[in-house]
Structure 1
Amino acid sequence: MRREIGQFLRRLQRERDASPHTVKAYREDLTALADYLADDDGRTPALGAVTVSDLRGYTAALAEAGYAKSSVARRMAAVRSFFRFARREGWVANNPAEALRNPRKSKKLPHYLSADEVARLLSAPPAGTAQGLRDRAILETLYSAGLRVSELVGANDGDLDLEQGLLHVRGKGRKERLSPIGSYAADALRAWLAKRNVAPDARAGEATPVFTNRFGRRLTTRSVARLLEKHLAAAGLDPRTSPHTLRHSFATHLLDRGADIRSVQELLGHSSLATTQVYTHVSDRSLREAYDRAHPRAG
């Protein structure tokens, strides 16, 4: 079984051009399945001997071990993908993963900041230092374009068009999109770029990152999380707020102000409208609160 897993991963990387992150996730998920199915001597069963009962037992074992439903669902997706491939290759006569169902997810509304809270956060970085200018540009850009933090740190100078107010974004699954940047974010970026330090030993032809650390090298996602923690404390805001919260806030505020959900889907780079629809629940809640406050017969 481990041999077939290795062949599947190589095909995933070579023919489907999967990212290293995706291949790593599949490897971890499928290796965990192989370990579960192995006997006391570490021998895994032949692929054709794996049954749907084995796979359901694995799902139950993950739940008993305390894995979140989202983590179980991700592992089941990897298992289904692997066995679909195995069936196409003729390694198995039947696909035992076909009957697997994902655990029912609890509907958890995303945490977001109000417009006033966002304004407080964006004004927290000091404007008198290069680091402060950088941090303000980071927060403005995350909120203005609704970016994932990985998309932000991966941005290069060639992706920016400040005159047109656009950013070329490379998103999940190697999908690309153009994201508008508001005037506040554009001004913050101009101020930061005028002070930015770029590593002197950068190789010729190497893309210049928009956001750098004090050594002039590309900023990491962890660094963005750390600087956000600092400015949340300065602004007196919920310390549980993450960089992704600004993306949630971006979507919620757009919907609250009348943007249609299809446009928000495009701006977020979501493949499925169902992923975007979680924000309509937040927006509906805001509408309900406004109704209850304002309508004379609401009570």
Structure 2
Amino acid sequence: MARTDQPVQALELDCADVSITQEMTRWLSHLRAERRLSPKTLEAYARDVRQCLAFLAEHWGAKVTLAGFAAVEASDVRAFMAMRRADEIGGRSLMRALAGLRSFGRFLEREGKGKVGALSAIRAPKVAKSLPKPIHMEAAKRFADADERAGEERETWILVRDAAVMALLYGSGLRISEALGLKRRDVPKPGEGDVLVVTGKGNKTRMVPVLQNVLQIIADYAAICPHPLSPTGPMFVGARGGPLSPRIIQLTMERLRGALGLPDSATPHALRHSFATHLLSRGGDLRAIQELLGHASLSTTQIYTGIDSERLLEVYRSAHPRG
């Protein structure tokens, strides 16, 4: 995992002068060290601002200066957004681009480098709500069964390892990065505990319950793993003993969903969605599910109420006397 306190490498842009690239470098370093944003988010923000600067340079016919950016008008920003929309960029990507530009603008204001008022005058693009697609309960359980892959020419310990990871994704609602980020010491042995402390987005930790049968699958994997699993090392290792790549689990899901006749939406993250959906459908409290998933906002968790509503409507239509 990349350290969040390392400085960002200095940027060089043909479309902007050195003053603005220096401030961009300082801004990204601030986001990494103070806001602890993930490397992927930093990369996306930097790319969005670079694209805007390149557009403005062509739009104005000159390199973008710090003073020029501070004086940007709302019509310039709207033109940039329209250009991105013409490239068939989705609403969520446009929203992220605007968020990155606003973040950079606020940073410049705090540093006394001018006010970029035009950015706050732009309305965020509308984003179509898309409900996550959970996996049926019985199918989700089968992903955590190593016997489902008995015909594959792979070592038994790898089959059990993959089943253990997917059992965690569905049994505890973990993100794949959280499951693969677990250390050996983080996982209790069966009968010796029922809670995991996981590190989620923004390096925030939370406690999540873990089922004893899931702990048993993990213990079965640890018992036959040919590589030493030190207390401070990763719980799940690759074929050569190093940290397990998320791509391995993704490929495993692809093979299994083909065998089970499931759609492309059956991904590792769909197991996490299924965890939340199945809890909610069985009367789970929405705020408790929010805590288990590690969502900062309840609104993020509320997308699952839409899924549950669909299920209730199906029951209503099929069971109501006038249905």
Q: Shared fold (TM-score greater than 0.5)?
A: yes
- For residues 126-275 of structure 1, what are the structure 2 equivalents within 5 Å? 126=150, 129-162=156-189, 163-198=192-227, 207-275=232-300
> 2-side partners of 1:53 and 1:219: how far apart?
48
Equivalent residue of 2:276, what SS? Answer: helix
**Structure 1 pair 146–32 and aligned structure 2 pair: CA distance change class (3 A):** same
| Offset at residue 199 of structure 1 (A) | 6.7
In terms of mean alpha carbon deviation, does 33-42 or 214-223 score higher?
33-42
**Structure 1 pair 276–34 and aligned structure 2 pair: CA distance change class (3 A):** same
Paired position in structure 2 for 1:118? 140
8 Å contact kept, 1:2–1:44: no
Per-residue CA shift, 1:53-105, capped at 9, x if unaligned? 21111111111101111111111111111111111222113422111222111
Paired position in structure 2 for 1:78? 100
Per-residue CA shift, 1:2-46, capped at 9, x if unaligned? 232122112223343444333323222222222221238771242
Equivalent residue of 2:58, what SS? Answer: coil
Matched, 1:277 2:277: no
Paired position in structure 2 for 1:292? 317
Equivalent residue of 1:30, what SS? Answer: helix
8 Å contact kept, 2:74–2:121: yes
8 Å contact kept, 2:185–2:231: no
* Letter of the structure 2 residue corresponding to residue 258 of structure 1: G
8 Å contact kept, 1:73–1:102: yes
Equivalent residue of 1:194, what SS? Answer: helix
> 2-side partners of 1:264 and 1:154: how far apart?
21
8 Å contact kept, 2:184–2:231: no
8 Å contact kept, 2:157–2:225: yes
8 Å contact kept, 2:183–2:231: no
Matched, 1:4 2:23: yes
Per-residue CA shift, 1:263-290, capped at 9, x if unaligned? 1111110001111111000011111212
Per-residue CA shift, 1:169-197, capped at 9, x if unaligned? 11112211111111221111111111223
In percent, how many aligned pairs have the same letter? 36
Per-residue CA shift, 1:228-247, capped at 9, x if unaligned? 11122232322431111101
Give the total of aligned pairs. 294
> 2-side partners of 1:103 and 1:94: how far apart?
19
8 Å contact kept, 1:142–1:148: yes
- For residues 35-114 of structure 1, what are the structure 2 equivalents within 5 Å? 35-39=54-58, 43-45=63-65, 46-114=68-136
> 1-side partners of 2:258 and 2:317: how far apart?
33
> 2-side partners of 1:194 and 1:12: how far apart?
42
8 Å contact kept, 1:87–1:95: no
Equivalent residue of 1:249, what SS? Answer: helix
8 Å contact kept, 2:105–2:115: no
> 1-side partners of 2:231 and 2:23: how far apart?
38
In terms of mean alpha carbon deviation, does 68-77 or 6-15 score higher?
6-15
> 1-side partners of 2:92 and 2:37: how far apart?
21
| Offset at residue 157 of structure 1 (A) | 1.1
| Offset at residue 160 of structure 1 (A) | 1.5
Paired position in structure 1 for 2:33? 14
> 2-side partners of 1:251 and 1:66: how far apart?
32
> 2-side partners of 1:89 and 1:239: how far apart?
47
> 2-side partners of 1:57 and 1:199: how far apart?
57
In terms of mean alpha carbon deviation, does 61-70 or 117-126 score higher?
117-126
8 Å contact kept, 1:151–1:170: yes
In terms of mean alpha carbon deviation, does 262-271 or 6-15 score higher?
6-15
